[in-house]
Amino acid sequence: MDATTVTVTGAAGQIGYALLFRIAAGEMLGPDRPIRLRLLEIPAGVRAAEGTALELQDGAFPLLRSVDVTDDARTGFAGAEIAMLVGARPRTAGMERGDLLAANAGIFGPQGAAIAAAAASDVRVLVVGNPANTNALIAASAAEGVPADRFSAMTRLDHERAVAQLAARLEVPVTDIEGVVIWGNHSATQFPDVASATVGGRPAFEVLAERLGGTDAAQRWLDDEFVPRVAKRGAEIIAVRGASSAASAANAALRHVRDEVLGTGGRRTSAAVVSRGEYGVPAGLVCSFPVTSDGSGYRVVPGLDLDDRGRSRLDASVAELVDEREAVQALGIL
Ligand code: NAD
Ligand code: LMR
């Protein structure tokens, strides 16, 4: 089998370090697919990325054909079939949201253009760096000639968090849980939704009501504990760990790409993809939806019920995405 070229940006960062060795071990693309890694960093990160490249060599991974480190975007994305955009400008003290969006537009715009210029014609791009949804929108807009549906942003970590919280509350294995959905933005406005989820094949809400002593108690747990816990889990990790999630984010990024490229086998997951107006979400926004993939890319699962509560939560998160898009447009970027 030909080697697949995978480009990872921010390769010297925390997520990069947790991700690269698993990609090299074949956990993302399977045990038969050789891999060429390209690590893209800013100049200040190149030396550390080179150190990671030395360690990758020392892993003697049978599937790993080569590792190249660069700070030039066109070189970094040359021939990329999979691009994982992890590197981003973090928010620092005194930075307003507009400053953060502008700083990241200055990264994701040029990277989108470099992908269009240099990547493989079938490239697939996952944006992890925050604000992930809007960074993906910027990259997709700048990647002239690359279909927008090749771009997605990561809400898979939120999805796994939701699965894990539900499983923990019900004291069941995570493998019993199916059909959880993350709607909206990868931010505290997201809506983790169990309305169409199942636990051991039974409706999740029914199982929750049985376990928690009625439908009111189940709804209270969802509104007061589950939704805020999942939506604010990123902040909880930062508060407890002293740094943003890294290994769990790398795990989610790996699963996102694996499922997109190898297929979900009919199972639903969550990913932020470019809206075509599904579920009333304005076309063009990068919004998290229930998705499946047959290996040719994520497609939004149609026809799920959203009750009034769910609808207003999705609307609130979409309003935030619209605000982010308008803020970027006001900077003359889109
Ligand atoms: P980190 O600070 O440890 O590493 C970021 C790396 O990116 C650094 O090495 C930096 O030099 C590099 N970088 C910055 N600008 C770059 C550019 N233009 N090109 C290439 N590399 C560049 O951060 P981290 O913990 O690895 O997190 C990376 C990003 O992922 C952050 O934006 C974080 O908020 C985000 N994140 C997203 C999710 C999600 O669920 N979507 C989850 C966790 C973290
Ligand atoms: C997460 O969800 O863990 C991260 O997006 C948090 C962050 O701000 O980096």
Residue nearest to atom 27 of ligand 1 (CA): 15
Cα 13 to ligand 1 centre (Å): 6
Residues placed in the known binding site for substrate: 91, 97, 130, 161
Atom of ligand 2 nearest to the CA of 238: 6
Cα 265 to ligand 1 centre (Å): 30
Cα 109 to ligand 2 centre (Å): 21
Q: What angle do CA 31, 33, 36 make, to 5 degrees?
A: 125
With a 6 Å cutoff on the Cβ, whether 244 touches ligand 2 is yes
Pairwise CA distance, residues 226 & 276, whole Å: 29
Kindly report the pTM of this predicted structure.
0.98
What is the four-CA torsion angle of 18, 20, 25, 31, rounded to 10 degrees?
120
Residue type, 300: V
Atom of ligand 2 nearest to the CA of 91: 8
Using the structure block, give the residue that is written with the tokens 């960074």.
135
Residue nearest to atom 4 of ligand 1 (CA): 13
200-227 per-position pLDDT tens digit: 999 999 999 999 999 999 999 999 999 9
Query: Exposure of 26 by Cβ count < 10 A (0-12 exposed, 13-18 middle, 19+ buried)?
Result: middle
Amino acid 95: pLDDT: 82
| Range list of H helices, 263-307 | none
Domains and CATH numbers, the chain: 4-153 (3.40.50.720), 156-326 (3.90.110.10)
**Cβ atoms of residues 187 and 153 within 8 Å:** no
pLDDT band for position 332 (cuts 50, 70, 90):
confident
Average pLDDT taken over every residue of the chain:
97
Residue 91 has pLDDT above 90, yes or no: no
Residues placed in the known binding site: 10-16, 91, 97, 104, 111, 128-130, 161
ipTM field: 0.99
Sign of the C-alpha dihedral computed for residues 66, 71, 75 and 81 taken in this order: positive
pLDDT band for position 98 (cuts 50, 70, 90):
confident
Pairwise CA distance, residues 331 & 329, whole Å: 5
Q: Establish whether 186 is a catalytic residue.
A: yes
Strands (E), 2-147: 4-9, 35-40, 64-70, 82-85, 124-127
101-116 per-position pLDDT tens digit: 999 999 999 999 999 9
Around ligand 1, the residues with Cβ closer than 6 Å are 9-10, 12-16, 40-42, 45, 86-90, 107, 128-130, 132, 154, 157, 186, 244-246, 249
